[in-house]
A and B are shown apart, each in its own frame.
Chain A
């Protein structure tokens, strides 16, 4: 079966694959947001400063 050809299985699994894709994209966005929030935290900045003093 050529890669470009649509198989019945593709149709059946489309919803599942789309859903999984969206969930993974959401997870990536969440981890990115968490990273930004944590890096922007005062605690992190202070650690960096004290690290620089040493």
Chain B
């Protein structure tokens, strides 16, 4: 998932001692919020129960692990962050935090998050968190991001693990339902990211990141968005017929997938001249809709769990 900001964390550089907010920014709080939410849903959707304090601690440690991987990503990517308009205000490229500090900060928090999650819950959840951090920092940031236009397709797995970890906290294992939540985020990531790449024109190109828009062109990117959106729909709607879903989830999934597909078709039909003329309104709408899409699906899973005692959840199907 992207930490795409319409944040115009301004490009103004303020050298000097880093403040608390700079270290907090290293954790990519926007990504963390999505991680917290999806991990929370994974935890609550799982059969069985955990003590509320253990659940709260587990979610915090999962968020901490995600934040730590964000800090390590910013340490590694400082050179390209410096080039891109969207990221040049970040703590490392702006000079407020040194790369060494970011590395130490990220490594310390990574180890702490994994160890504490193991102590708070179980080794499966901790192992999944450790793998997620490794996948995001080493596989995605160090290798995929700069070498293949499929970077965000494969790298999207890192953002898809949190609900699986939440599920593992409650059950100590992996199940088809947790894999389905993984698949939902995994398939959602490409259209989400490529919609962003379409209107963040030139940013990735100037940084030398082989985004699909750069390597295969913008027309091909529009087609890819459509294909992945079509492939995503059965995964999202299919989850309604598992223990995750129910009538509320099904209705949400149908409405949102129709909207998402319609927007993907609209983006696919647009040419560059039209998009540039209206300030990439359709692409921005696709990106905004993708955020709503994910929150609504996971929100609906949560609602189904709340409705379960009324017979409208797990037992209702």
Interface set of A (CB-CB < 8 Å, partner B)? 12-13, 15-16, 18-20, 30, 33-34, 36-38, 40-41
Contact = CB atoms under 8 A, between A and B. Distances in A.
B69 to A, nearest CB: 19
Nearest to A38: B54
B6 interface: no
Interface in B14-41: 16-21, 23-24
Nearest to A13: B17
Nearest to B64: A27
B16 A12 contact: yes
- Interface SS of B by simple majority: helix
A36 B53 contact: yes
Contacts of A16: 17-20, 23
Contact of A34 (B18, B21, B57): B57
Contacts of B16: 12
Given A12-B17, A16-B20, A19-B20, A30 B54 contact: no
B60 interface: yes
B138 interface: no
B120 interface: yes
A15 B54 contact: no
18 contacts: A12-B16, A15-B21, A16-B19, A18-B20, A19-B20, A19-B23, A19-B24, A30-B56, A30-B57, A30-B60, A34-B54, A34-B120, A37-B52, A37-B53, A37-B54, A38-B54, A40-B51, A41-B51
A4 to B, nearest CB: 22
Contacts of A18: 20
Report the 5 A-B pairs with minimum CB-CB distance, sorted nearest first: A19-B20, A37-B53, A37-B51, A33-B53, A16-B20
Contacts of A15: 19-21
Contacts of A33: 53, 56-57
Contacts of B52: 37
Interface string B115-150: 000011000000000000000000000000000000
A50 B63 CA distance: 37
A20 B51 contact: no
Nearest to B60: A30
B53 A34 contact: yes
Contacts of B19: 15-16
Interface in B95-131: 119-120
A40 B184 CA distance: 37
B263 to A, nearest CB: 40
A42 B308 CA distance: 26
A22 B16 CA distance: 23
A34 B140 CA distance: 33
A36 B53 CA distance: 9
Nearest to A9: B17
